[in-house]
Structure formats: structure tokens, C-alpha cells
Amino acid sequence: MAGHSHSANIKHRKNAVDAKRAKIFSKLARHIISAARQGGADPEMNLKLKYAVEKARAANMPKDNIERAIKRGTGDKDGDDFEELVYEGYAAGGVALLVACLTDNRNRTAPEVKYTFDHCSGNMGATGSVAFLFDFRSVFVVEVGGRSEDELMEIALEAGAEDLVAEDELATIYAEAAAFLSVKEALEAKGLEMASAETGYVPKNTITVESKDDAKKILKLIETLEESEDVQNVYANYDMPDEWIDELSS
């Protein structure tokens, strides 16, 4: 889930992480397998694999799981080939969604995503219908660790990032997608603890959700989409109170 507040969503994820850990690791493993199958087992020679491994590490995926996924990706040449797809649509209240998938069967995934939109008060759109509302960027959610917003901003800018939003004990740092690895290494070198590190779609502007009923429908649609093994991430441009997210996602 990625709406107006990455740190609020990360906080919610951390509260529910134990129940969802197996599913999260399964999706991360699929990403690693796909990357290794396309470009080989050496992350230094395979940038897509390096990104996938870094994302898995940021989610605290065990080293053994990562290594097994790499071996599976390079060892079974007759295995299923995964395809990256992005579906677009709208949720209640005109909120735009991008659904990033990694699938071995688009004939299964597309109808499943459409069914979810149709049955959760949404509308699946054509390619390009909402993509223009998002930018593809690097997104790092870090522990504040007692630092002031000015201190964090200075660290972020020195690391090559573009922007920072601080909220309570977490801060979200944004950078160019191509600068993911260099910025991540620079932030970690400054002692920042990562709650999340990924490249993904960030909304250029947000839609204010006017009613709790619409908020419930939006979060239900996103949650149902994320339950699919084929769905890697769901990005949205909603803006709603954090207490609604906490209440309706509990």
C-alpha cells in the first residue's frame, strides 16, 4: 500500500507483519527468482537482482531464503518465466491505483485483478489511464532515532536524495529511481535504520478522501488486491487521516 503517508502505511504494515510475513517473503522470493532467471546470479552484474535483494534485506528476509531464491532462479531453466505487468484503475472517491504484478500467467492475473476491482467498488482502467498521475522513484522509510527534521534533511540531501517528509518516529526520503543503490548506501553509512527501501510509484498529487465509507472501500480494495500472490505492490494517491487507516485496517 502506498498512499499519502508512506511512514503511516509502514507503521501499519509493521503491526501486522507477523501474520503476513510468509506471504511477503513469497512475493520477494518471486521477484528474486525472476531477476536471477533474466540476468544471472551475481547481483554486481545483474542490477535488477541487486535491487530485488536489497528490497528483501530491507524487509528482513533471511539470508538463506534469499540465497535459495537466487539458486532457484538460475538452477531450473525450465521453470516458469515471470512477466512484469502494471494494471490501472480507480477506487471509490476517484482515487487512482496502480497494481504492480509479477506473474507466470497473465491470462489468470488480468481477470483476477479486474474481478477484484469490480467487486470492491472500483473500476479497472485502460493502460495509461492513471499512470501519468505517478512518478517512479526511490522511497526509503527510516527511523528518526531522535534526529531533528533539519538533521535528517541534511543527511538526505548529502546522500543524493531529493526530498524528505518526517512524521513522528519515521521519515520518508525520496530520490530518483536510478539513484536507489547509491542513496541507500549513503543513508546507511550515516547510521539510519531502514524500515523500508524500494523503488515504486509515488503520486504527484493526492485525492482527499471525504468520507469514512469511501476510505473503507478504498482500503478494502487495496487489501484484497494485495492478497493475490501475483500482486507485488499497490500504489494509490489517496489522502486520508491516519486514524482512519488504523481503525479500518485493524
List the CATH number of the domain containing 120.
3.30.70.980
Position 11 confidence tier, pLDDT thresholds 50, 70, 90 = low
Q: Is residue 230 part of a domain?
A: yes
Q: Identify the burial level of 176 via C-beta atoms within 10 angstroms of its C-beta, where 0-12 means exposed, 13-18 middle and 19 or more buried.
A: middle
User: Which 3 state secondary structure label does DSSP give 43?
Assistant: coil
Name the nearest CA neighbour of 92 among 233, 236, 245. Answer: 236
- Which pLDDT score is estimated for 13? 46
Instruction: Report the C-alpha gap between 114 and 88 in whole angstroms.
Output: 10
Rounded mean pLDDT, 119-126: 96
Most confident of 18-22, 31-35, 121-125: 121-125
In a domain? residue 216: yes
**Strand-pair partners of 143:** 170
In a domain, 241, yes or no: yes
Question: Hey, what's the cell of 68?
Answer: 535459495
pLDDT in tens, 74-92: 886 555 678 999 999 999 9
| Residues paired with residue 202 on neighbouring β-strands, in sequence order | 135
Predicted pLDDT of residue 18: 53
Residue 248 has what pLDDT? 86
Predicted structure pTM score: 0.83
- Residue 114 domain-assigned? yes
User: Is 225 contained in some domain?
Assistant: yes
Domain count of the chain?
1
- The grid coordinates listed for 39 are 540476468
Residues of the domain holding 244: 83-132+205-248
Closest alpha carbon to 83 in 58, 105, 115, 116: 105
Q: How far apart are CA 198 and CA 217, in angstroms?
A: 26
Residue 197 located in a structural domain: no
The DSSP secondary-structure symbol of 131 reads G
Least confident of 11-15, 193-197, 222-226, 246-250: 11-15
Nearest Cα neighbor of 96 from 195, 230, 206, 242 is: 206
Q: 7 in a domain, yes or no?
A: no
Average pLDDT over residues 199-216: 94
